[in-house]
């Protein structure tokens, strides 16, 4: 737990979130500012800063986040979806606690801007 981290506060229950899934390792909740009809985030309960800070002991949890992200997208009726994880401000990261964006329900261009 990082006392200054927004997502750690959501995990602790200090800030509310619209949750889709939770277990002992991970949490999925709807993005507060959705960029697609389906847009939720999947995060580890452990405070990992971002994709550039995954250590060997985190590999299983990151795999679980990917698996669960896809599973939840399909359960919510989306066979096509986009997964995004930003690392660093220049890549668009604004919350420095690892999060997988799961987005669906509209076309996505490639490459992303």
Which residue ranges make up the site for ligand AMP (CB under 6 A)? 6, 15, 17, 29, 31-33, 86, 92-95
Q: Identify the helix (H) or strand (E) that includes residue 81.
A: strand 81-84
Interaction between residue 83 and Zn ion (CB under 5 A) = no
Chain-centre distance for alpha carbon 50:
10
For the segment 93-112, give every residue that binds Zn ion (CB under 5 A).
97
Closest CA to 68 of 100, 104, 38: 100
Q: Is 14 in the site for Zn ion (CB under 5 A)?
A: no
Per-residue burial over 58-90, b = 16 or more CB atoms within 10 Å of its CB, e = otherwise: eeebbeebeebbbebbeeeebeebbeebbbeee
2 binds Zn ion (CB under 5 A): yes
Partner interacting with residue 47 (select from ligand AMP, Zn ion, none; CB below 5-8 Å by kind): Zn ion
For this structure, is 30 an active site residue?
A: no
| Residue 45 within binding range of Zn ion, rule CB under 5 A | no
Structure tokens at 28: 């999925």
Q: How far apart are CA 41 and CA 84, in angstroms?
A: 9
Nearer to Zn ion, 57 or 109 (CB): 57
Instruction: Give the number of residues in contact with Zn ion, rule: CB under 5 A.
Output: 6
Query: Which of Zn ion, ligand AMP, none does residue 82 bind (CB under 5 to 8 Å by kind)?
Result: none
**Annotated catalytic residue within 78, 97, 99, 101:** 99
């Amino acid at each position: 737990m990082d006392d200054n981290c927004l997502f750690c506060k959501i995990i602790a229950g200090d800030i509310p979130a619209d949750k889709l899934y939770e277990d002992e390792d991970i949490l999925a909740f709807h993005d507060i500012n959705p960029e697609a009809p389906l847009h939720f985030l999947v995060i580890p309960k452990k405070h990992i800063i971002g994709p550039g800070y995954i250590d060997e002991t985190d590999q299983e949890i990151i795999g679980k986040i990917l698996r669960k992200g896809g599973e939840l997208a399909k359960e919510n009726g989306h066979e096509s979806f986009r997964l995004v994880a930003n690392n660093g401000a220049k890549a668009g990261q604004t919350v420095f606690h690892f999060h997988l964006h799961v987005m669906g329900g509209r076309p996505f261009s490639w490459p992303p801007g």
